[in-house]
Amino acid sequence: MANDRNRPLIGVSMRYNWRSEYFYLRQTYADALYGSGGLPIYIPLFPEREYLEPLVDRLDGVVLAGSDSDVDPLRYGADPHPKLGDVLPRRDATDMLLIELAAERGLPLLAICYGLQALNVARGGTLIQDIESQVEGAIKHSQGDVYMRHCHKIDILGGTLLADLAGTTHTTVNSHHHQAIERLGRNLTPVAWASDGVIEAVVDEASDSWVFGVQWHPEVGWADDPLSRPIFSAFLDAVAETHDSRPAVAEPHTS
């Protein structure tokens, strides 16, 4: 238990079911982060600066999780495509605030699937609203319920962090999305692509902080996946620097 007190705190944005008014998130995010040395904290979707600022002040890193919703196209100046999925304003707004607050504090940021799309929009980019109907020669990017299966190939730009982590410039990933990056946001550099040209990973090389986004789900089956483990290890390595420099939090006073 003493060792857990020294683990860096990682905030993870949750999902939201508006019908049942439930916050929720698959346990694989916590498994991957805790198994990699972090102390994961699931963040309820309260898109209020007064709530998120003091919370982010206590964090050492942020993970933008996937979602079964789509970023509102009005956020990037587009009308809704007929195959646009559910839009959850509170998830969009919470992630946008987390991105802003993490950047202000220089916190490492790992963006996964929807999280990558939210990051791109927050940086002024746009999205392909439905890959199947908008990308010529599109492959299947939403593989269904077998979440751990690697279902398509990606090509990785050599000499990049992702290539170093993968140990190759060609590998396979799982896939659970129908949207993707269209126009890149500010300072985001693509480093991996699917065979149909869809961007699969980005980095921010212009920032002093560690910012990395992937379109697949490395948290699923992370323990046995030769690429997922290094991704979370690299994130936690970056987080450790922030954690080590953070002032110690005083123990609660008891009378």
Q: Which domains does the chain have, with CATH numbers?
A: 7-245 (3.40.50.880)
pLDDT score at 32: 97
> Is the separation of the CB atoms in 42 and 27 below 8 Å?
no
Q: Looking at residues 59-85, what average pLDDT do you find?
A: 97
pLDDT at residue 50 tops 60: yes
pLDDT at 217 (0 to 100):
96
**How would you class 135 by CB atoms within 10 Å of its CB: exposed for 0-12, middle for 13-18, buried for 19 or more?**
middle
Q: Is the pTM for the entire model greater than 0.75? A: yes
Confidence check: pLDDT of 250 > 70: no
What is the per-residue pLDDT for 67?
Answer: 95
Average pLDDT, the chain: 92
C-alpha of 33 from chain center: 13
Give tens-digit pLDDT for 196-222.
999 999 999 888 899 999 999 999 989
User: In the structure, what pLDDT confidence band is assigned to residue 180 with cuts at 50, 70 and 90?
Assistant: very high
Sign of the CA dihedral 133, 139, 142, 145?
Answer: positive
What local confidence, expressed as pLDDT, does residue 243 receive? 60
Active site residues: 113, 217, 219
Taking only the tens place, the pLDDT of each residue in 132-168 is 999 999 999 988 766 778 999 999 999 999 999 999 9
| CA angle (199, 73, 176) in 5-degree steps | 45
Decide if pLDDT at 14 tops 50: yes
pLDDT of residue 207: 82
DSSP string covering 26-85: -THHHHHHHHTT-EEEEEP----HHHHHHHHTT-SEEEE---SS---GGGGT-PPPTT--
